[in-house]
Homo-oligomer: A and B are copies of this chain.
Amino acid sequence: MFENIDIESNGKDEKMIRSSASTVARKMLDFMESASWIRKMFEEGAGLRAKFGADKICDFSLGNPDLPPHRSFQRVLETVAADRSPGVHSYMPNAGLTDVRSRMAVQASRDHQIKLSAEEIIMTCGAAGGLNIIFKSLLNPDDEIIVSKPYFVEYGFYVDNHGGRLVPVESRPDFSLDIKAIEDAINNKTKAVLLNSPNNPSGVIYGRTELEVLAKLLKRASDYFSRPIFLISDEPYRRLVFNGYAVPPILRFYPNSIVITSFSKDLSIPGERIGYVAVHPEASRKTALLDALTLANRILGFVNAPALMQRVVGEALDHITDIKVYQRRRDRLAEILREAGYTFIVPQGAFYFFPRAPIPDDTEFVRILQKECILTVPGTGFGSPGHFRIAFCVDDEVIERSRKGFIRAMERVGI
């Protein structure tokens, strides 16, 4: 006989719940269930590919950079791989290799126009790994993270993983920050405001003035609650900017700020999982925070960012992919969308358009585009129904070929 410990049933039939979640965690079953619509959509895309041939499909659904890494990245990679010095593949401090962290500190200092040192850098398994260790380090149960819509769909999972709650707030019609909406969302459970700039999916860069106003708000709220409310800036697209736009130096505006970046997009190596977290040198209880981030890197199972790729990005961090190609595609796609009659904001960075869907139901419109062999993602997935996302990290030829489909889809909805 085995022991039966009392379980609080919360009014539900616990035995029934136990049975349904008897193998896989309830929460994961729920996630899989709620993600089933997007899976279905991807399956439909795969079906189209099978039916018409992959070369007939214009797949704008994934933010997977198609450009090859820079040639000098390749040279560095081959040199690092040939290094047979003792210990190059060994365990290391959980925060990463000291010399690599020093180089990242130089980059972060340049990007943010303040002086950072190696100890303020934690090497991570990409930006996704970086965000997870930040939330693990910061969140008490039910703490809230405010994010401006539209936002990267994974943020909800990352915050939930560590017992927090993502609180999406409306942005202004041009997707810039609605400071009043953020202010209204701040309460005694707010731990941080999370920014993503250039933004996935909108392509918007938050400007200097909005950031100044946001910093003032966070300062005031921190004073009110007698504890820091953090500004977390997720910046994998910082260097993927067009027409000379620049992302303002976030760390300049607010001391309780943390930056995450990754080399996935600008070096075109998303499969290699490498990025870093940078903590403001004057952040509140900085040492405890850095210790927590380092411990989180260890106990969440990353242990350390991949050793070889740390060394590679340490050398190759400035060998970014050819942005001019993305700019050319952006310009051409803007022409096509304009010609077809879509309403959209021209992205200042990243590689996404986020046009308004010409009918209210964005999922329905994405299906209409599918009929034209064009694959996109509904805005609902980014907290902004009524829009759809076009990822233009695809060959110019695909963009050209999509022209008629975008036009016909517009005609189909009769606008």
Report the nearest B residue to A283, measured CB to CB: B23
Find out whether the CB atom of B302 lies under 8 angstroms from the CB atom of A129: yes
Please give, as numbers and ranges, the residues of chain B lying within 8 Å of A170 by CB-CB distance.
Answer: none
A170 to chain B, nearest CB (A): 17
Q: What is the bound-complex CA distance between A304 and B273, given in angstroms?
A: 8
Of B69, B125, B228, which one neighbours A125 at CB under 8 angstroms?
B125
Find out whether the CB atom of B188 lies under 8 angstroms from the CB atom of A285: no
Of the stretches A14-22, A111-119, A339-347, A374-382, the one at the interface is: A14-22
Q: Please, what's the 1-or-0 string for A22-63, where 1 marks a CB less than 8 Å from any CB in chain B? A: 111111110110010000000000000000000000000010
Q: What is the bound-complex CA distance between A1 and B225, given in angstroms?
A: 10
Q: What is the bound-complex CA distance between A8 and B217, given in angstroms?
A: 27
Find out whether the CB atom of A23 lies under 8 angstroms from the CB atom of B300: no
Q: What is the bound-complex CA distance between A29 and B136, given in angstroms?
A: 11
In the assembled complex, A331 has its CB within 8 A of some CB on chain B: no
Of the stretches A204-212, A288-296, A361-369, the one at the interface is: A288-296
Q: Please, what's the 1-or-0 string for A68-104, where 1 marks a CB less than 8 Å from any CB in chain B? A: 1100001001101110101011111000000000000
Find out whether the CB atom of A91 lies under 8 angstroms from the CB atom of B78: no
Instruction: Give the residue among A183, A301, A303 with the most B Cβ atoms within 10 A.
Output: A301
Q: How many copies of the polypeptide does the oligomer hold?
A: 2
In the assembled complex, A309 has its CB within 8 A of some CB on chain B: yes
Find out whether the CB atom of B271 lies under 8 angstroms from the CB atom of A187: no
In the assembled complex, A333 has its CB within 8 A of some CB on chain B: no
Report the nearest B residue to A285, measured CB to CB: B23
Please give, as numbers and ranges, the residues of chain B lying within 8 Å of A226 by CB-CB distance.
Answer: 19, 22
Of the stretches A137-145, A172-180, A247-255, A402-410, the one at the interface is: A137-145
In the assembled complex, A415 has its CB within 8 A of some CB on chain B: no
**Do A308 and B307 contact each other (CB < 8 Å), given the known contacts A125-B301, A161-B300?**
no
Of B5, B24, B62, B66, which one neighbours A289 at CB under 8 angstroms?
B24
Given contact pairs A2-B225, A24-B288, A90-B271, a sample of 14 additional A-B residue pairs in the complex whose CB atoms are under 8 Å apart: A4-B187, A5-B189, A22-B227, A23-B288, A25-B140, A62-B91, A66-B86, A78-B81, A78-B82, A128-B301, A128-B303, A133-B301, A271-B308, A301-B302
